[in-house]
Chains A and B, each alone.
Chain A
Amino acid sequence: MINKTGLVFFPAFDWSISDIHPEREERLLYTRDQIFEEGVLDLPEIVEYSPRVATPHDISRVHFCVPNVDDQVLAAHRIAAGAAMRLSDRIINKEITNGFAIVRPPGHHAMRVVHGNRGFCSINNEAVVIEHLRRTYGIKKIAIVDTDVHHGDGTQDIYYHDPDVLFISFHQDGRTLYPGTGFTDELGGPTAYGSTINIPLPPGVTDKSLHYVVDNLILPVLQDFQPEFIINSAGQDNHYTDPLGSMLITAQGYAQLTEKLRPNLAVLEGGYAIETALPYVNLAILLALAGKDYSNVTEPDYQPGKNVENSKVTEYVCRMVDSLQTTWRKSKEITIDQLCGSNKYYQRPKNIFYDTEYFEEKQLEKVRTCFDCPGYVIIDSHAIQPKLGRCRVLAISIHNRCCKKCIAEAWDAYQEAKKDYRYSYVYLQDKTEDTFITFRREDQSEWLTEG
């Protein structure tokens, strides 16, 4: 196979949330300048592609957009997700070995149910790729490593009950940063226990401790899980100059991380030090993916020994890695029985805050604790959207490996909910059939998309 790295650069230069919002057009302007000026797109190892546009159906494989995909998703979102999809296709077709989607807007805070924009995200670019890969190519085991300074709570939410998708996220401790989640005890639901690994790091971590985590925890867990495809949610906001995070990672640190992870696909997430970090970090990662020498890519103000890690931070990280190693080893012996006893459903209430538009969603999430399959998920979701007003919906998701009994139960639940006056919309996502049905109470209409 030829060693080539694909790049889709989609800066959406004609879109932003607002003029001074951190997630704005200028974010990738200097990255473009740096990448163009370096001439890396002329390298034979790097191929540039245009994005494709994700269809509403591609998005419905992942999300329940309330009320509809078109109400929540703009062209920019569809292109960012489509960019990542295009690269994933080229990777599967062996045109390229790996790819980097340098796109905006980002997506890892977008959860399964979408009432609005959270943490600058509306749809989850990585999840759209994963469902596309499963449906189109029958890929079973996929790992996502989230290297953004913020916890990838959206991705975690989508795959919390999915034993086939390993989600590993390191991030700045949720007690000190948005979105305030991602602790070590969040390990996945009963049917997918141990397939979520969170590594909350204290502020002030440098390249040294980060690589300790990578070498002693992330790489062994990946090795153990044996994924067929690895996606890196590549947030660049662990950088020592990032205005939102408090970490001390360098461009070199990021590049080495990439070299070790060897992701098939990296998708840009956050990173708001648009002048001091993004041009250098993105370039270094791109070179690392392409197997080129990145040792000369340094920030203008970088000096060796500039970022010093507090010894307490180092010790803390070591202890956490130690304890997580134990948790990971033990998780394999823990059974559904031990977690839920004889309960038919495992359920948890959730409060979700939409920080861009300032409103809250209340959820009750239930997963069928089936012994034969990953079970199906039912979400009862209630929010007061600024645009739509009060809206309560029921969303049912059937995993692509669900057993016949679970499929039948899930369909029954859907039919029952259609009769329930409390729900304005009822959704059914059947991944075994690749169909997505929406029922609208107002006019009793029902429509379906399928691939």
Chain B
Amino acid sequence: MYIGIDVGGTSTDAVLLSNGRVQATAKVYNTPNNLLSDLVQALDTLMKGVTADEIERVVLSTTVITNLIAERKNDPVGLLLMPGPGCKLQLYKKPNVHLLSGTIDYKGREITPVVEEEIIAAIDDFDSKGIDKVAIVGKFSPRNNRHELQVADIVTKLKPNWQVEMGHRDGGKLNFPRRVATTLFTCATKEKYQSFVYSVQQALRQRHINAQVFILKADGGTMPLESSIQSPVETIFSGPAASTLGAQALTPAGETSLVIDIGGTTTDLALILSGQPLLSSKGVMLDDQFTQVRALAVKSVPVGGDSIVEAVGKELIIYSERMGKPYCLGGPLPTPTDALNVMGLTKLGDIDKSWAAMEVLSQQTQRSPVEVARNIIDLFVDTVVTEIENMYLEWEQEPAYRIWEVMQSRKMRTKNVVGVGGGAMGFVPQIAIKIGGIPIISPYATAANAIGAAVAKPTMQVTLRADTEQKVYSIEEYGYQGKIEATPFGRDQALNLAKKWLLDRAAAIDIGDQIQEIEVTRQDVFNIVRDMQTTGRIYDVCVQTVRGIQWHVDAGGRLI
């Protein structure tokens, strides 16, 4: 049996799955600073009549780190950057940032060395400010980490107790500003994340659960809780990933679907293409900065069931903010949820109050309450439909760098329209009709997040770049850089090396048995030519475990 737990901002949702069936669900409203007891309470609700040793796996999704950063409760971090020549980014003109000498080029060749005195001066500065966490990031460090290691060495020698993070370890993709942000957030959240992990482990231990524990990542994959301590930022925005996977579990395998998650404040849109959730081409944005965290492509529309509705003249307007609960649940203003109540599409809270809310708007706009409710729903549906169309267009517009990618035309509209979240029942059928799709809403639509966490499979990816001219290779995901030993080293050797890395890493974190198949997602070869002679080759290879979910709940039955 599998347990999925979604630790949200206001509540903790949990689900117990057995052979693709939902055995039990739990919802616990969070008590401040007492995650441990909330978790224990949720587990107790789930496990009535179930023994601890029947649990095979526990998967969590959490917004703990996202909220820490959003509320700026993270620890102060000193930044040591080696940006070299290139863009001047205003971003780095901040206190606690020191720009150091040391330049590496795109091939990983050193252009200018680091200067020790600068590093010592920076350490003194941090010391005087009481900063004991340092993030070190150099431009092109994924191609050559030598400078970062040198700087880290000096810091550790002088301040053995400081926490030090290096860019090449935290984000191996080429994108210096995103790598800076990722490393910074890792550094700033590690300590607090450890206490979250500790609470989870405590709760499970108290209920004698010895199953493997995983945490959901923003890209819909999972990683073992233990190893997630090294990269807490990977857990950010796992909420939207959980609901997308949940929707995937609630639809038939291999199909193409549009997922609409209607929450209180926002409506999140996602795409599942031939059974695979679409990944975003950009990294997750955190605190107005892009990071290197891979995420599912989720588009957030700023309207939800609790958005406020007002009359301006005779026009109705849905505002993107939330002022509290819907009127029917004691909130201050009319909301789309109230409109659904009046139209008889939902039965939430005090229906008379919903009528009263429409009554107010009805007087201002000189229309009947039913007409007002109808208008609000239409407005809501139109807003979402417009954004759906935009999302498709954006997807069609994704950059492509190879001929085959451009030539295969990207034009597709999904049939399945899967609704999850609180407002799904009322709105999704109407949205589906507008865009010519089939609405699918499971009875478990409101528990989709926890289900998504429960069914998520561990995923791993290895990106190898080998340069036979310089006889070096690097592994993007682990910041590893090594020498090419094999001769000759060709396409096959590059691919095998990448696969070996993938399997070794899987074994190291004890999920080797769960990797059945490896997919090659990219395989590029570039000739390096000097004076009309081929002097080497660059291999760019990306392999990953086949992405997917463990189960389809209720066989993905179409229930409405």
Measured CB to CB, the residues of A under 8 A from B are 8-15, 19-20, 24-26, 29-30, 32-34, 36-40, 42, 48-51, 53, 75-76, 79, 275, 279, 283, 287, 292-298, 300
Taking CB atoms and an 8 Å cut-off, the chain B residues in 126-177 that contact chain A are: 139-140, 173-177
Contact B529 A26 (CB under 8 A): yes
24 contacts between A and B (CB under 8 A): A8-B399, A9-B401, A11-B401, A12-B401, A12-B403, A14-B524, A19-B527, A19-B529, A19-B534, A20-B532, A20-B533, A30-B107, A36-B173, A37-B86, A38-B176, A38-B177, A39-B89, A40-B87, A42-B175, A51-B400, A53-B407, A287-B87, A297-B86, A297-B87
Q: Which residues of A contact B87 (CB under 8 A)?
A: 38-40, 283, 287, 292-294, 296-297
Contact B538 A29 (CB under 8 A): yes
Contact B399 A26 (CB under 8 A): no
Contact (A34, B106) CB under 8 Å given A19-B527, A19-B534, A287-B87: yes
Contact A24 B527 (CB under 8 A): yes
Q: Which residues of B contact A36 (CB under 8 A)?
A: 173-175
Q: Which residues of A contact B526 (CB under 8 A)?
A: 13, 25-26, 29
Q: Which residues of B contact A20 (CB under 8 A)?
A: 527, 529, 532-534
CA distance A293 to B91 in the complex (A): 13
A12 to chain B, nearest CB (A): 6
Is B382 an interface position by the 8 A CB rule?
Answer: no
Contact-size category for B? 35 or more
Bitwise, B367-404 to A at CB < 8 A (1) or not (0) is 00000000000000000000000000000111111111
Contact (A14, B175) CB under 8 Å given A293-B88, A297-B85: no
CA distance A292 to B527 in the complex (A): 33
CA distance A140 to B403 in the complex (A): 33
Q: Which residues of A contact B529 (CB under 8 A)?
A: 19-20, 24, 26
Measured CB to CB, the residues of B under 8 A from A are 85-89, 103, 105-107, 111, 139-140, 173-178, 282, 290, 396-404, 406-407, 524, 526-529, 532-534, 538
Q: Which residues of B contact A8 (CB under 8 A)?
A: 399
For B140, give the chain A residue with the smallest CB separation.
A37
Contact B111 A300 (CB under 8 A): yes
Partner of B398, one of A26, A50, A294: A50
Contact (A50, B406) CB under 8 Å given A25-B526, A34-B86: yes
Contact B401 A39 (CB under 8 A): no
B90 to chain A, nearest CB (A): 9
Partner of A9, one of B103, B399, B538: B399
For B180, give the chain A residue with the smallest CB separation.
A39
Q: Which residues of B contact A12 (CB under 8 A)?
A: 401-403
Contact B105 A300 (CB under 8 A): yes
Contact B403 A50 (CB under 8 A): no
Contact (A13, B528) CB under 8 Å given A38-B86, A275-B107: no
Q: Which residues of A contact B85 (CB under 8 A)?
A: 296-298, 300
8 further contact pairs, Cβ within 8 A, besides A9-B399, A25-B526, A296-B86: A13-B526, A39-B87, A39-B175, A42-B177, A42-B282, A283-B86, A297-B85, A300-B85
Partner of B103, one of A10, A79, A300: A300
A192 to chain B, nearest CB (A): 35
Contact B397 A49 (CB under 8 A): yes
Contact A37 B176 (CB under 8 A): yes
B330 to chain A, nearest CB (A): 40
Q: Which residues of B contact A296 (CB under 8 A)?
A: 85-88
Q: Which residues of A contact B178 (CB under 8 A)?
A: 39, 42
Q: Which residues of A contact B105 (CB under 8 A)?
A: 300
Contact B527 A26 (CB under 8 A): yes
